Amino acid sequence: MNKEIIKEIFLLALDVIKALCGLIWKKIKCLVWDRFFVTSVLSHEKAAEQEWGVTGEDKWPSTPEAPSGEQKESQQKIEKKEAVSIPRAPELPDNYGDNRIVLMVRDPLWLFAYWEIRKDVLDSVRSALGVLAHNTKIVLRIYDVTDIIFNGSNAHKCFDIEVTGGARDWYIEIGEPNRSFCVDIGFLSPNGTFRVLARSNTVRTPRMSISEVVDEEWMSIGELYEKVYVPMGRGVSESAFERAHGNWQEALKEDVSSPGSLDSSSVSKK
C-alpha cells in the first residue's frame, strides 16, 4: 500500500479522535457547570424569595423575657424623671385666709357680693353668742348709705337676705338706681341679735335715665365783643374802631363760634 495513503488515513483518524474528544469535553464541562454553579445560584434565589415572603403569621409570638432587677430600677428612674419634667398647673386653694366681703355693681338694679370668712372668726362669734349660736343663721344685711358717712347704725334703711347652702357669693336685687349701698355678713339670732363677721366696701348704682351733666356753655361772639371792643371804642380813633366793629359784624354773620376762627378772619381782612 502506498505510504501517502496510509498517512492520510492516519491524519483523518487523528482528526476524528480530536473531534470526539472535543465533544466529550464540552459535555463534561456542561455537566460540571450545571451541577456545581447553576444549582447553587437557584437555591440561593429560592431562599431569598422565601425570606422575602415570610410573614410569620403561622408562628406564635415569642414571650418577652422578664426584665431583670437592674432593668426595672433603670426603667423606674426614667419614669420618675419624665414625671418630674412635665410641668403641672398649681391647684387653686379653697380659700386665701382672708376675712372680707366684696360688693360690686352689676347694673342699676342689682348688686353682686362674694366673701370669705376665717374659721377663727366664726368660732369667736359663735362662742360670744353662747346658746343662741345653735339657732342662728347667716344673713346679708344691705344698707342704703346714700350721701352719708356710715357708722353702722345711721343707714337710711336696710334689709336682710338669708344665705343658704354654704354659698360664698350672692346676687342682690336692690331695685333702686343712683343710690349707695354697703353690705354686712353676719349671724342673726332668733331674738334679733346681729353679729357682724365682715363689712363690705360702698358702691353706688348707676342712674336709669340720661345724665343731667351737659357740656359747658361757651361765651357767644356778641358777649365777647361787648366785653372787649365796646370799652376800647372810647379811647381809640374812630377809623380803627369802625374797622374792628366791621370785622366783628362780618364774623357774626358767618356764625363764628370760637375766638380762634375770629382771629383768622380778622387777619385775612387785613
Is position 9 within any domain? no
| pLDDT tens sequence across 24-54 | 888 787 777 666 665 555 555 555 555 544 5
Domain-embedded: residue 261: no
The pLDDT value given to residue 197: 94
44 falls within a domain: no
Q: Supply 132's cell numbers.
A: 343662741
Is 251 contained in some domain? no
CATH number at residue 178: 2.60.40.10
Which CB contacts under 8 angstroms, 24+ apart, belong to 218-223? 218/257, 218/258, 221/248, 221/251, 221/252, 221/256, 221/257, 221/262, 222/252
pLDDT digits (tens, 9 = 90+) for 46-68: 555 555 445 555 555 565 565 66
Which residues span the domain enclosing 153? 100-204
Give every residue of the chain whose pLDDT is below 50, as ranges.
52-53, 256-270
Domain presence at residue 253:
no
Kindly state the helix (H) or strand (E) to which residue 100 belongs, with its residue range: strand 100-107
- Rounded CA-CA distance 172/104 in Å is 10
Return d(Cα 17, Cα 10) in angstroms, integer.
Answer: 11
Which amino acid, residue 126? Answer: R
pTM: predicted TM-score of the whole model, two decimal places: 0.47
Distance CA 249, CA 244 (A): 9
**Domain total for the chain?**
1
> If we measure between CA atoms, which residue out of 232, 231, 124, 131 comes closest to residue 186?
124
| pLDDT for res 263 | 47
Grid cell for residue 250: 362780618
Domain for residue 159, yes or no?
yes
Under 8 Å between Cβ of 191 and 130:
no
Q: Judge whether 22 lies within some domain.
A: no
Burial class (CB in 10 A: 0-12, 13-18, 19+), 160: middle
94 located within any domain = no
